Amino acid sequence: MRRALLVGAGGMGQGWAKNLVAHSDQVSLAGWVDIREGAAAAAAEKHKISGLWMGTELEKAIAEVQPDFVVDVTIPEAHHEVTLTALAHGIPVIGEKPMAHSMEAARAMVAASDKSGKLYMVSQSRRYDNRILAYRRLIEKTCGSLGILNADFAIGAHFGGFRDEMDHVLLLDMAIHSFDQARYLSGADPVSVYAEEFNPAWSWYKGAASAICLFEMANGLRFTYRGSWCAEGLHTSWECEWRATGDAGTALWDGNDILKGAKVVGTEGFHRETQSTEEPITEEISGGIAGSLEDFLHALDTGATPMGECHDNIKSLAMVFGAVESATTGKRVAI
């Protein structure tokens, strides 16, 4: 039974608390830290969680709780300090996305993982979805050599709070999911990006809530992202709508439960004859942060490399900051 120390008692932190309690056959939620006095205690009472250490100081919590791993669900600006502190004590970390508020901080976190020899994993929860697993299989059986990958995201999200005041709100707070999904679906890493971001006149966000990005990926693949967080009506899925095209055919996913492909079987004619391809959504997996936690625990047990391991996940974060730099400078940016 591994003892977990949870850092952060906001909405997502409370979600992780429930996730840890739901895995009580493998994990004991031993401590909860939040810099706000009484926040952890209030959250624990709300969710009827008792018998754990609670406080405001991470160093003190580590000393008194002696956790086997730390779950970092703080704001992005705090990820660097929390992760470096835990790793310096030889404690593995699973943290929420994005890895860090800057590439400099992210590189320091990866270096700290190397120095400590302990696992640091970022929870890219959207990889743990049986629909995206099926879509990846459909791409592999349909498209051949992949050359084009497109993602469309359009949701009018009235959050209120800090997001309404953020700079680069779509790119920094949401696009990391889609960029990481693109890497997962294509198996390709980023090479460069040209991006434009903008804020329509009706937007309720201070920062740019819409963006268009063109990424060059390894092996010549182009990945395009068109996104908006102030698109009212006819929303896409939160997972985006996807189209993948290669030399052998095309595969689509609506981001919900519709997957379909067309594989070229003819060699003549104005339009080459195609044959429909399908891939059932049958694989049973734990989705979202439950999948992230189980992957992390499996890695601790076996030494396997989980999805979201920091050396890999920093490539998805680089896509975000590359897009922000390109949008800011108006230039193509090497990643």
Question: Average pLDDT in the 40-61 region?
Answer: 95
pLDDT (average), residues 269-279: 92
pLDDT grade for 221, boundaries at 50, 70 and 90: very high
What pLDDT, on the 0 to 100 scale, is given for residue 104?
97
When pLDDT is averaged across residues 246-252 and rounded to a whole number, the result is 98
Calculate mean pLDDT across residues 44-48: 94
Reported pTM: 0.93
pLDDT of 161? 84
**C-alpha span between 241 and 236 (Å, rounded):** 6
Tell me how far apart the alpha carbons of residues 39 and 45 are, in angstroms, rounded to a whole number.
10
| Residue 217 pLDDT | 97
Domains in the chain, ordered, with CATH?
Answer: 2-118 (3.40.50.720), 130-283+318-334 (3.30.360.10)
Mean pLDDT over 293-307 rounds to: 97
Please, what is the average pLDDT of the chain?
96
Q: Where are the alpha helices (DSSP H) in the chain?
A: 11-22, 39-46, 58-65, 76-88, 103-116, 130-142, 169-173, 175-186, 288-302, 310-329
CB of 39 within 8 A of CB of 18? no
Q: How far is Cα 311 from Cα 122, in angstroms, rounded to an integer?
A: 10
72-128 per-position pLDDT tens digit = 999 999 999 999 999 999 999 999 999 999 999 999 999 999 999 999 999 999 999
- pLDDT of 283 reads 78
Structure tokens at 224: 């395009």
> What was the pLDDT predicted at 215?
98
Residue 284 has a pLDDT of 83
117-176 per-position pLDDT tens digit: 999 999 999 999 999 999 999 999 999 999 999 999 999 999 988 889 989 999 988 999
> Is the per-residue pLDDT at 308 higher than 90?
yes
End-to-end CA distance of the chain: 41
pLDDT in tens, 53-74: 999 999 999 999 999 999 999 9
User: Which residues, in sequence order, are bridge partners of residue 2?
Assistant: 27
pLDDT band of residue 191 (cuts 50, 70, 90) is very high
